Amino acid sequence: MKSVVAQLLESALAKLPELADLIADIAIESTVERTRDSSHGDFASNIAMRLAKPARKSPRDVAASIVKQLSDSDQVDKVEVAGPGFINFHLSAAAFQQELRTILDQGICYGRQPARERPRILLEFVSANPTGPLHVGHGRLAAFGATVGNLLEAAGYTVEREYYVNDAGRQMDILGVSVWLRWLESQGTTIPFPEAGYRGDYVRDIAGDIDTGDATVISAEELTDGLPEGDMEALIEALIARAIETLGPDGFDRIRQQSLESIRADIEDDLAEFGVTFDRWYSEQSLTTEGRIDAALAALEKSGNVYERDGAIWFRATDFGDEKDRVVIRANGKKTYFASDIAYHFDKRQRGFDLLIDILGADHHGYVTRVGGGLAAMGYAADDLIVDLVQFVALYRDGEKVAMTTRGGKFITLRQLRNEVGNDAARFFYVSRSNDQHLDFDLDIAKSESNDNPVYYIQYAHARIASVFRQLEERSLEWNDTSGCDNLSLLVEPQEKKLLTTLSRYPEVIELSANNRAPQHLVHYLRDLANDFHTYYNAHVFIVDDDKLRDARLVLVTATRIVIANGLAILGVSAPETM
RNA sequence: GCGCCCGUAGCUCAGUCGGAUAGAGCACCAGAUUCCUAAUCUGGGGGUCGCAGGUUCGAAUCCUGCCGGGCGCGCCA
């Protein structure tokens, strides 16, 4: 609908070259917005105010000369200049009726934009280390990322979703040794569990399932003989060394890989149950085995952006806005995690993705300049990488903050949260706040089946509409949608007009939410839409004796159901027929 | 110390590219059902948009400084 107004303005300006020249760099559509107050019409443009200064005329004069050039349209009832120089458009009833027919015609496609070739987007999210189950913080990354992916697709983009599996490095050794120690325990060899190991119960479960091959059980004395005391980091290092010497490198690797795969598969199941799926699980190990880190480092070398100092190889990150240079190869010859990161992003770009979007926890903010700098150093634009940082989640129960510590394995898992409040409420609450806002997740509200739960409020509107049609059937009446579409002019009640207006905003909301990667706009919109529907429901009966009015009202109500269902689908929330 | 994010009603938060009288929900108060699901609806009170400057036709929004909260600053992963 917005484009109707923008086009009218555009053709009017075409007749005013002296004005049009002044705003060559402004998209006319960007001057058009919904009005907040219906007495100002449906849409307003501030274009005259923006033109006033360069044109050296008063905003109202500019507005008047534009309005004079506007051609008549059956979509517009009235145009007026108001306030400091707004041009207000009052759309016709016919325009809204047309939109209603569009909603019915397009159904589940309503609000989606046609596919566009570019940019191809690679969306990376969650990417939690595979050292244990996902917790509630990862849940927010999952829900946010999945919803952003859905929004971008609705906006016409091609999106691939990827999970980066940190399956290399020391943490995998620690996982392996943790599982080994738990396995030994199950065989009767028990020592105090190391502080630096992974202590969650899931480690015992893995140890119980694992195939250890011909591994021999050693005694506690053999296990602890000569181990360092006091320093927990040194202790875990020594235990890893002991595992390798006892099991052999292959034997230890076997435990390590099984443990990793067990956890990774569990994460995949957990997310799938949450409605979050990925096109690819990208292994960090594969960066090394396929030589991608070396390739990236060679590209950096070639562009002259690395140098040697103190026996290490450094990336000139300061040349790209970072506060200090970063090591890529340590003096001991090992590559850093940062080297993997830039290699991974270099590879994403080389696979043909134009735009890389990373959804990361807020503690990763230092990473943005560095990786963007790495891309720039390798010949790509730093702007090709967008990082959305998602702030932390605090759980509240009975008005109290729920204490969570990662240490000691005492944290609430995503699975526990989903079991407690349900997938729908979890998906909804996670995206109801801006990603750069800390999230206070109130378990009691998410669980409550009552009026203070916004998820149910929206779902209830959908179920009520389904119920209206069940009633229709019970009364042996039929809905003639053709008749309904022919009689939309009967929809004259204020609640009907309000609902029509809100429905017609949906495509704009999708576009806005997608462009800003801001699902909370859609959440708020759906709440508004449900509110308009409930108000209508309470004010008027839909199944009336008058066939034409009934058919028309059922068109409006059906359109409402379509838009609610479409919006909830993007959020990953179900749209129930009954509640 | 440096960097990033946040500060809007009692509470939790929206507020698009700077736009007209700053909005929701919860909580609080008062009402609505012979009728399609009351998990609903209607009305009401409640604001120094952290503070101080600046930019301009116009600032919650942009700029500077300050105050308060969170997070991050490794040849860890």
Q: How far is the CA of A175 from the C1' of B65 (A)?
A: 49
A43 backbone dihedrals φ, ψ, rounded to 5°: -130, 150
Q: Whose C1' is closest to the CA of A341: which nucleotide?
A: B77
Q: What is the DSSP string of A163-230?
A: EEE--SSHHHHHHHHHHHHHHHHHTT---PPPTTS--SHHHHHHHHH---TTPPP--HHHHHTT---S
Q: How far is the CA of A383 from the C1' of B4 (A)?
A: 18
Domains A2-91 and A120-166+278-390 equal at CATH topology level: no
**Closest residue to B56 by CA to C1' distance?**
A53
- Indicate the class that CATH gives domain A2-91: alpha beta
Q: How far is the CA of A398 from the C1' of B10 (A)?
A: 18
Protein-contacted positions of strand B (CB under 7 Å) = 2-6, 12-17, 19-21, 23-27, 32, 35-42, 56-58, 70-77
Q: How far is the CA of A129 from the C1' of B34 (A)?
A: 62
pLDDT score of A56: 80
Tokens of A297: 């480092």
**Closest residue to B7 by CA to C1' distance?**
A437
CA distance A199 to A132: 10
Q: How far is the CA of A223 from the C1' of B61 (A)?
A: 63
pLDDT score of A206: 97
Q: Where are the domains of chain A?
A: 2-91, 120-166+278-390, 170-273, 454-571
Name the 3-class secondary structure at A4. helix
Q: Whose C1' is closest to the CA of A541: which nucleotide?
A: B36
Q: Whose C1' is closest to the CA of A460: which nucleotide?
A: B39
Q: How far is the CA of A223 from the C1' of B65 (A)?
A: 61
| ipTM for the whole complex | 0.94
pLDDT score of A503: 95
**Closest residue to B71 by CA to C1' distance?**
A363
Q: How far is the CA of A521 from the C1' of B26 (A)?
A: 19
Q: How far is the CA of A488 from the C1' of B15 (A)?
A: 33
- Considering the domain delimited by A454-571, tell me its CATH architecture: Orthogonal Bundle (1.10)
Q: Are A390 and A360 in contact (CB under 8 A)?
A: yes
pLDDT score of A165: 95
**Strand order from edge to edge, sheet including A393-397:** A400-401, A393-397, A439-442
**Closest residue to B3 by CA to C1' distance?**
A366
A475 backbone dihedrals φ, ψ, rounded to 5°: -90, 10
CA distance A42 to A44: 7
Q: Residues, chain A, total?
A: 579
**Strand order from edge to edge, sheet including A326-329:** A306-309, A312-315, A326-329
Distances (CA, A) of A258 to A80, A130, A182, A216: 71, 12, 14, 18
Q: Does domain A120-166+278-390 have CATH number 3.40.50.620?
A: yes
**Closest residue to B24 by CA to C1' distance?**
A524
CA distance A88 to A179: 68
Burial degree of A93 (CB within 10 A; 0-12, 13-18, 19+):
middle
pLDDT score of A405: 61
CA distance A536 to A105: 23
Q: How far is the CA of A199 from the C1' of B16 (A)?
A: 47
pLDDT score of A243: 95
What does the buried/exposed string (b/e) look like for A483-519 if buried means 16 or more CB atoms within 10 Å of the residue's CB? bbbebbebbeeebbebbbbbbbbbbbbbbbbbeebbb
Q: Whose C1' is closest to the CA of A470: which nucleotide?
A: B36
Q: Are A244 and A168 in contact (CB under 8 A)?
A: no
A441 backbone dihedrals φ, ψ, rounded to 5°: -100, 110
Q: How far is the CA of A433 from the C1' of B14 (A)?
A: 9
Q: Whose C1' is closest to the CA of A88: which nucleotide?
A: B20
Q: Whose C1' is closest to the CA of A457: which nucleotide?
A: B39
Q: How many CB atoms lie within 10 A of CB A228?
A: 13
pLDDT score of A409: 52
Tokens of A206: 């893995």
pLDDT in tens, chain A (579 residues): 888 898 898 888 888 877 777 766 667 888 898 988 888 899 999 888 888 877 788 888 889 989 999 888 899 999 999 888 899 999 999 999 999 999 999 999 999 999 998 899 999 999 999 999 999 999 999 999 999 999 999 999 999 999 999 999 889 999 999 999 999 999 999 999 998 899 889 999 999 999 998 888 999 999 999 888 878 888 999 999 999 999 999 999 999 999 999 999 999 999 999 999 999 999 999 999 999 999 999 999 999 999 999 999 999 998 888 888 999 999 999 999 999 999 999 999 999 999 999 999 988 888 888 899 999 999 898 888 999 999 888 888 877 778 776 555 567 899 999 998 899 999 999 999 999 888 888 888 787 766 667 899 999 999 999 999 999 999 989 999 999 999 999 999 999 999 999 999 999 999 999 999 999 999 999 999 999 999 999 999 999 999 999 999 999 999 999 999 999 999 999 999 998
Q: Whose C1' is closest to the CA of A578: which nucleotide?
A: B37
**Closest residue to B39 by CA to C1' distance?**
A450
Name the 3-class secondary structure at A453. coil
Q: What is the pTM of this model?
A: 0.94
CA distance A527 to A524: 5
Q: Are A449 and A402 in contact (CB under 8 A)?
A: no
Sign of CA dihedral A489, A495, A499, A501: positive
Burial degree of A547 (CB within 10 A; 0-12, 13-18, 19+):
middle
Helices (H) and strands (E) in chain A, counts: 22, 15
Q: How far is the CA of A378 from the C1' of B64 (A)?
A: 36
Q: Whose C1' is closest to the CA of A59: which nucleotide?
A: B57
Q: What helix, strand, coil percent values describe chain A, rounded to 5?
A: 55, 15, 30
Q: Whose C1' is closest to the CA of A171: which nucleotide?
A: B77
Find tokens 């307003």 and name the residue: A44
**Closest residue to B17 by CA to C1' distance?**
A30
Find tokens 């209603």 and name the residue: A100
Tokens of A114: 């046609």
